[in-house]
Amino acid sequence: MKRALIIRHVPHEGVAGFRAPIEQAGYQVDRIDVSDPGFSRADLTAPDLLIMMGGPMGVYEQDQYPWIACQLARLSRRLDAGRPTLGVCFGAQMIAAAMGAKVYPGPSKEVGFHPVRILPGGRNSPLRHIAETPLLHWHGDTFDLPNEVELLASSHVYDHQAFRRGNNILALQFHAEMGEDPRFHAWVEEWPESVVEAGRDLPSLFADHQQFGPDAVAAGRRMITDWLENLDD
């Protein structure tokens, strides 16, 4: 059986809605937290599929989070080998940084449900499955576009929402895995100030989660199913 490894940067940011299509594609799913004592020794090139999820830290905060530099070094080797890798939010920023791009705080928070704009490069990609679907966004950092990648999507807040290199490496700034997972409430409890900074209020955010969440997760699952079906050997 193929092996998928999820890197979890904080306990309340898991693979959520993406687990079903990953398992349906025949992967045995394992998980490792960056807080695990053995994380620094984990071989990130070995798994058939690597999934890196989100987190509140910034890639540039390596003095505060020493594991970031360790993870970037091993991630870079995996990307150089072209091994199937998915990054979500902070995970996408880690892919950008491992490819040599700069990651930095953006001018504003992007929090809430709204669609991304699928760019010409994304119209024949797995991202076509999320076109016009309101998806959850929750971030304040962004990144320069790495060399030799294809930009797939933008939003009205940030230009760089998704990119890929070939068929095997996919970086998603948004959270198409979230919409039905109860950990959403933990996000709101943990970072209510982000909601306010983005110009949102809690009642409308909860209402949007109830209205848009199921369709967002369904679209995200179709996207990941398509991506997994078209990985290069």
Q: What is the pLDDT of residues 160-179, one digit of tens each?
A: 999 999 999 999 999 999 99
Chain center to CA of 167: 16
pLDDT mean by block of 10 residues, the chain; 233 residues: 96 94 98 94 96 96 96 97 98 98 96 97 96 97 97 97 98 98 90 88 94 98 98 91
Contacts of 38 (CB under 8 A, 6+ apart): 32
Prediction pTM value: 0.96
Nearest to 71 by CA among 80, 62, 63: 62
Sign of the alpha-carbon dihedral angle for 101, 107, 112, 117:
negative
3 state SS of 210: helix
Angle of the 183-190 helix axis to the 202-229 helix axis, nearest 10 = 130
Nearest to 114 by CA among 176, 50, 45: 176
Give the Cβ contact number of residue 121 at 10 Å. Answer: 16
Which domains are assigned to the chain? 2-229 (3.40.50.880)
pLDDT of residue 128: 97
pLDDT of residue 12: 87
The per-residue pLDDT for range 109-141, each reduced to its tens digit, is 999 999 999 999 999 999 999 999 999 999 999
